[in-house]
Structure formats: C-alpha cells, structure tokens
Structure 1
Amino acid sequence: MAGIVGERIADYLEGHRNELLNTWMSRAIANQEDPYLEVIKTNGSMMIDVIIDSARGKATHMAALQELASKVSYERVQANVNISEFVYNVAVGRTALFSHIPKIDIPIQDLYPVFEGFNTLFDQFLYSAVHNYTDLKDQQLVEQSMFIEQLHEDKLTILGQMSSSFVHEFRNPLTSVIGFVHLLREKYPSLEYIDVLAKELDELKFRVTQFLLISKRGGDEPEKQWFRLGEIVHETLNFLYPVIVNSNVQVTSDLDESGTLFGYRSEFRQVLINIIMNSIDALAACSEKVICIQGYADNGHFIVDISNNGPAIPPNMISTIFEPFVSTKKLGTGIGLYLCRKIITGHGGTIECHSDEQKTTFHIVIPRKYVKSTT
C-alpha cells in the first residue's frame, strides 16, 4: 500500500490515533472479571500500529501482526473467557477504522484498494488469533485429560491397596467365625437359625472378597472354568431376593439355559449383582418396576441384556458411565460399573449401555472363544 495515498492515510491515522482508539474501545465488549482487561486497549493500539505500518508499506507489518495474534490468543486462553467477545471486538475495530478513512480528502476510487488491503489484514489477524486459540485450548484439554486419567489411576491404586489390606485383615477372623459356625452346625444340626447364619457369613465373605477386584484378582481365586450362565443368574437372584422383594421389583428372565461360558464364575456373578442393584436403585421413583434379563447365543457369541424401565440416563453420562468415580447416584462411589467393564473386558468381551425414555439396557457380549458350542 506504499505510495502517496498510503502515506496520507498513515499520517492521518497517526494524528487521529486516540480518537480512533477511543471509538473502538467505546464499542468493544469486555468482561469486567477479565484479568487482561487493561491490556485490551494496549492490544488495540498495537493493531493500529500494524495498520499504519501496512499503509506505509513496511515489510515488517505481517510479522508484527502474527506476533500480536499469538499474544492475544494466549491472553484469551488464560482469561478463560468466550472467544466470541474477541471476534466481536475485532469486527468493531474494523468498523471504527472504515468510518474514519472516508474523512480523508482522497478520491473514493483511490480508497477501494485501501479498504481491500485493510480487510485482508483484519481477516488474517482474526484467522491467526482464533487458530492459535484453538490449538492452545486443544493442548489444554489434552493436558487436563491426562491429569484426570493419572488422578484416577492414582486413586484406583490407593483404593486397591486399601481394599487389599482391608480384605486380608477382615477375612482372616471372618474365616475363623465361618469355621466355628460350620462346627456348630455339625454338632447341633437342629440349632435354630444356624443355616441362615452360615449362609449370610458365606455371602459376607463373597462380598468382601470382591474388593480385591478393584486392584487385582484375589490370590485364592480358582482357575477359569466352564459354567452355565443360567445357574449364575438364578444364584444372583436368590442372593438379591430380599432386596428385590423389599423394593417391589418384578424380575423376569429369558435365558438360553444351555449357554456355557468360560471364565471366573464369581466375577460374572459380581457383574450381575452390580448391574441389577444399579437397576433397582434407578427404579426407586417408578410406580411399576421391571427388570428383564435375557441371555442368548448369536453367531457363536453369547449376549446378555439386562434392562429396566427406569428413567433415561442423560446422554452426557452414557459416554462416561463406565469410567471410575463416575456415578449417576448422589451417594454412588462410581466403582461398580467400572468393575463390570474391567471384568467383562478382562474376559475379552464388551459392555455397553443404551438408554431412552422406554428403558435402559446393559448389553454384554461374550466372544466366541469363551462360549461352549452346544451343537
């Protein structure tokens, strides 16, 4: 833009800098809590410097423009404010500049190239600043995500260590009590409630042992074995029967009784307990409470669907529902479904959750190599 016209425009802008800057700032939007509030006017003045250098044809104006764009984008990220305010303020600055230029005594046909050049300048500045802002925000999100993942790993490690210590300290005296109860049952088989006590102690031992699943597999876990899923489902429903009755929940099951799976029997049982208990909690406010359990073979795989007619899980929760420490319940630990995913993926399978206004379904797929063919 160098030449007589460019020099005249540059001289005019130099002489009317404060007027132009004040017009710009009076129309700009600024968050009063912005830590860079006082810097906004300085940035506007620096942009005017770039415009003047461009009008004079200085080769350094593009480097100065990129440097200013980087500076502003960094400040917008640090301020943690909406980028839309910045975009609006750039548009206001462009309008303020174009409203001043016609005041110069220059023929309109000579001003067209000027408007074109300044438009390009503002476009490049806006593009560079927003591009840099997006890159910085993406980097910030990646760092935050890595921090959260590491925090979860640290919490799980600590929880696993605490659980392991708790289980070993608790299980030893519990085993002694169970042993004495069995001796009492042999010596006094007709003793009232002895069978109930023995059953409850066995269930307590089972529940305590599950804490080890948070960090590792229990040392006394038997080897993988073939077992019928139908048997596990019936055992689980019998175990949860008091809760099911007290919650007034109707449970229906439609199972391929011949379906035989290979894995850790107690872990599959824990998956069923966690999902059914979650379903019972989800049905608390429903007048009609129904849980449906289906198990069937499909192209060599085995599918297990556990559905309830409770309220829909919010879409933003579905994608994170199996993450550790994420819970839809106010007092939930966020560990139950995480363990379910850990167990199922540990057996080479997948678990998903689908939810709408009609029902919520946990869909489990056990791969072919873990399913015994019945043909």
Structure 2
Amino acid sequence: MDQMNLDIVSFIDFRKEDIFDRWKEKIVIPSENDYEKIFLQGQLFLKILVHAFSFKKNELDQYLNKIILENAEVLNIYEITNISYFIYNANIIKNEMLIELSQYHSNWEEIQPIYLKLSETIDRFLFFVTKNYTSKKDQQIEETNPLNKDNHEERLTLLGQMTSSFVHEFRNPLTTIHGFVQLLRSENPDLPYMDIILSELEQLKFRITQFLMLSRKEMLNQEMALFSLNDLLDQIASFIYPRLLEANVELERELEENLFVSGYIEEIRQVLINIIFNAIDVLTEQMTSSVIKIKGFITEDRSIVLETSNTGPKIPEPLLNTIFDPFVTTKKTGTGLGLYVCKEIIEKHEGQLYCTSDDEWTTFTIKLPPVKKKDLETRKE
C-alpha cells in the first residue's frame, strides 16, 4: 500500500467516531428491538471497511466473504427482518466515508482512484452480505418445503380415502334403486318419466365410477381384454342419446372397421363418455348449430387414433396448457377431475391424450398402441 492509501486509512480510522455519530442520526431502524443490533452492525461494518481498504483487488473478495461469515452472528445476516434496512443503513456509512474522503484532499485527480476503490469495497461488501443472506434463506425454504409437501400429501391422501369410502358406500343403495326402477318399468311400461329417471341414475353411476377409478378401487375386479372400439362406441351412442336429444347436439361418426383395443373396456368407456359429456355441456351454452364428430382410424404404425371434435368455442391457450391438471375446471359445478382421470387412464394404457383448439373445432385426440398380432389372431379363432 502506498503512502497516500496509508494516510487515508489512518484518517478514516481517526474520524470513525464522527462518521458513526452522523450515521446514527440518519439510519432507519425497523423496530425498537433492533436498535442495539443496528448499532453493532454499523460499528463492525465501519471496522471491516477500513481494514478491507488495505487489500488488493484480487484479495478483496476472499477477505470480505471470509470476514462476513466469521461475523455472521453480529451482522445478523441470517435473521435480518428486512434486508432493505440493512442495505440502506450500510449505504449511509458509505456516503459519510466518501464525504470524509472528499474533505481530506482537494486535488480530485489524486483522490479519484481512492474514492472509486472505497466505493467498490463497500459495494462488494454489500454483495457478499446479500449473497450469504439469500443462500441461507434458500436453504431454509428447501428444508421447510418437504415438510409442508409431506403434510399436504398426507391430507390429500386422507381426503381421497374418505371420499372413496363414502362414494363406494353410496353406490350400493344406488344399485338397488336402479334395479328396482328397471323392475318397475318392466311391470308398468306405461308409467311416465321412467326413462328420465333411469337416464339420471345411469349418469349418477357414471360419476361415481369416475371417482372410484381415481382412487384405483375399480381396478380390483377388472381384467385386460381385446375389445372392439366400434362396438363400444355403438353402446356409448345409445347411452348418451337422451343427452344429445335434450341438448340438440348432432353426433357424427366416421370410423374405420375393425378398430380393436387391448385394455380395460370399462376404463376406456369412462374416458369416451367423459369427453363426449364435456363436449355436450359446452355445446348447450351456444345458440348456433352444435356438432360432435368422432373419427377413428389406424395409423401407419398400426396405432389406434380416436379424435372427438366439437364446434364449441375455442379454449384459451393458458387453459389449454392446464386442462388435464387435477381440479382445473370452467364448470360452475365441475370437480376438475374428469379430464385428469381420462389422461391417467390413457397413459396407463401406454397411450396419449391431448387437446387442440381453434376457432372452428376443439379436438380431443386419443392415441393407443397397436394391438399385438397374436391377440387379433386368437380373437378370430
């Protein structure tokens, strides 16, 4: 260190009490409880800066980082209530030291390099303080989040178990009611409103199955099988006919022959009905002509593709990106689980489910893997 630097360090050290007194009049303290802490910080800050000023540039960062970590408790950098107070008060010391420096020497050309070095030293000090503060806070967040996540997942699991048990118990009396309504209709074919009652019961059973599939309970009694997608869509068309008639929606089908799928037929049925019901709900809200078009075909790699399109309004891009997430819904009475369950089912069948939407059509595309050749041959036999 040259003589000029030594003289300035000595001068600043000599004037530090005056600097500190002026600093005390200008600082901002978050609360009375922080008064003593702020004073200790200021004294240490001033001491560190005077010492740091003697270091060369390539040694400065190493010294500052080391001294900050050693004095972290006094500086209170890991428990700072508001980091902005600390930075503001530190900059007051910076200003007061620069004021002293400007009064020390009147020749600006000689004092400028020292002025810049002192300013840079203070800036580097604040950089390492905030860096260590941020690092510690990030570590605390990482340590806390797993606990919050575990608690959240435990609550969701418990809620799911309670809901599943309730819905499962609810289905038993519903099955009894459904059976007796069918018996009543067969014995009294002219009794009015029976078709409406049966239709509503079928839809209620469908919603219950949706919840149970989400909880995985419905898989217990299922077996994978090879089935005709054409036949399944015929059955679904008959099932949803009352809803289509009520909503004044036209259903168009364009299916290649012999579309076979290997999987759980009830789960695939669930997916198709849910997508079609969603389309009907959307189409009932518009006054223009409403169409649902189902197109099925086999690709070059023998995959099965089923496209269900409707003439409803375009789905906004932000919603399109989250439409398969759980609890995302635009319906006033929706659960936000329907499409989530659909995607889970299709992916379990090693397939894909995605949605595209423009001003003319909104299309849900299901792509399922090819059926093994030996399975098709066994079916033909």
Question: What TM-score, normalized to structure 1?
Answer: 0.71
Q: Secondary structure at the match of 1:208?
A: helix
* CA separation of 1:149 and 1:242: change in aligned 2, threshold 3 A: farther
Q: Which piece of structure 1 moves more, 335-344 or 294-303?
A: 294-303
Match of 1:136 in 2: 137
Q: CA RMSD in A?
A: 4.7
Specify every segment of 5 or more residues in structure 2 that has no aligned partner in the other structure, as ranges: none
Instruction: Give the counterpart of 1:346 among 342, 348, 353.
Output: 348
- Cα contact 1:157–1:215 (8 A) shared by 2: no
Q: How does 1:29-178 map to 2 (within 5 A)?
A: 47-55=45-53, 62-66=65-69, 74=78, 98=98, 101-105=101-105, 107=107, 108-113=109-114, 115-116=116-117, 118-123=119-124, 125-126=126-127, 129-130=130-131, 132-133=133-134, 136-137=137-138, 140=141, 143-144=144-145, 147-148=148-149, 151-152=152-153, 154-167=155-168, 169-178=169-178
* CA separation of 1:99 and 1:293: change in aligned 2, threshold 3 A: farther
- Cα contact 1:229–1:257 (8 A) shared by 2: no
Instruction: Give the counterpart of 1:323 among 308, 319, 325.
Output: 325
- Cα contact 2:23–2:92 (8 A) shared by 1: no
1:9 aligned onto 2:12: yes
Instruction: Give, as a single letter, the amino acid of the residue that structure 2 aligns with 1:226.
Output: L
Q: 1:255, CA displacement in angstroms?
A: 3.4
Q: Which piece of structure 1 moves more, 280-289 or 35-44?
A: 35-44
Instruction: Give, as a single letter, the amino acid of the residue that structure 2 aligns with 1:159.
Output: G
Q: 1:128, CA displacement in angstroms?
A: 5.5
Q: 1:126, CA displacement in angstroms?
A: 2.0
Following the alignment from structure 2 to structure 1, what is the Cα–Cα distance between the partners of residues 36 and 298?
68
Instruction: Give, as a single letter, the amino acid of the residue that structure 1 aligns with 2:340.
Output: Y
Q: 1:366, CA displacement in angstroms?
A: 1.9
- Cα contact 1:312–1:358 (8 A) shared by 2: no
Q: Secondary structure at the match of 1:368?
A: coil
Following the alignment from structure 1 to structure 2, what is the Cα–Cα distance between the partners of residues 4 and 185?
108
* CA separation of 1:180 and 1:270: change in aligned 2, threshold 3 A: same
* CA separation of 1:111 and 1:323: change in aligned 2, threshold 3 A: same
Q: Deviations over 1:60-99 (max 9, x none)?
A: 75434346789777457x76xxx89988887787567545
Instruction: Give, as a single letter, the amino acid of the residue that structure 2 aligns with 1:12.
Output: R
Q: 1:51, CA displacement in angstroms?
A: 1.9
* CA separation of 1:56 and 1:134: change in aligned 2, threshold 3 A: closer
Following the alignment from structure 1 to structure 2, what is the Cα–Cα distance between the partners of residues 96 and 338?
62
- Cα contact 2:296–2:307 (8 A) shared by 1: yes
Following the alignment from structure 2 to structure 1, what is the Cα–Cα distance between the partners of residues 298 and 214?
30
Instruction: Give, as a single letter, the amino acid of the residue that structure 1 aligns with 2:15.
Output: Y
Q: 1:263, CA displacement in angstroms?
A: 1.3
% same residue: 29
Q: Deviations over 1:136-159 (max 9, x none)?
A: 348637854773575256325433
Q: Deviations over 1:171-210 (max 9, x none)?
A: 3334444444555566x48544597365655554444333
Q: 1:336, CA displacement in angstroms?
A: 1.7
Q: 1:115, CA displacement in angstroms?
A: 2.2
Following the alignment from structure 2 to structure 1, what is the Cα–Cα distance between the partners of residues 228 and 9?
86
Q: 1:244, CA displacement in angstroms?
A: 3.8
* CA separation of 1:67 and 1:8: change in aligned 2, threshold 3 A: same
Following the alignment from structure 2 to structure 1, what is the Cα–Cα distance between the partners of residues 315 and 341?
22
Aligned length, in residue pairs: 361
Q: How does 1:300-315 map to 2 (within 5 A)?
A: 300-308=302-310, 309-313=312-316, 315=318
Q: How does 1:139-288 map to 2 (within 5 A)?
A: 140=141, 143-144=144-145, 147-148=148-149, 151-152=152-153, 154-167=155-168, 169-181=169-181, 183=183, 188=187, 190-192=189-191, 196=195, 201-202=201-202, 204-218=204-218, 221-283=221-283, 286-288=286-288
- Cα contact 1:250–1:291 (8 A) shared by 2: yes
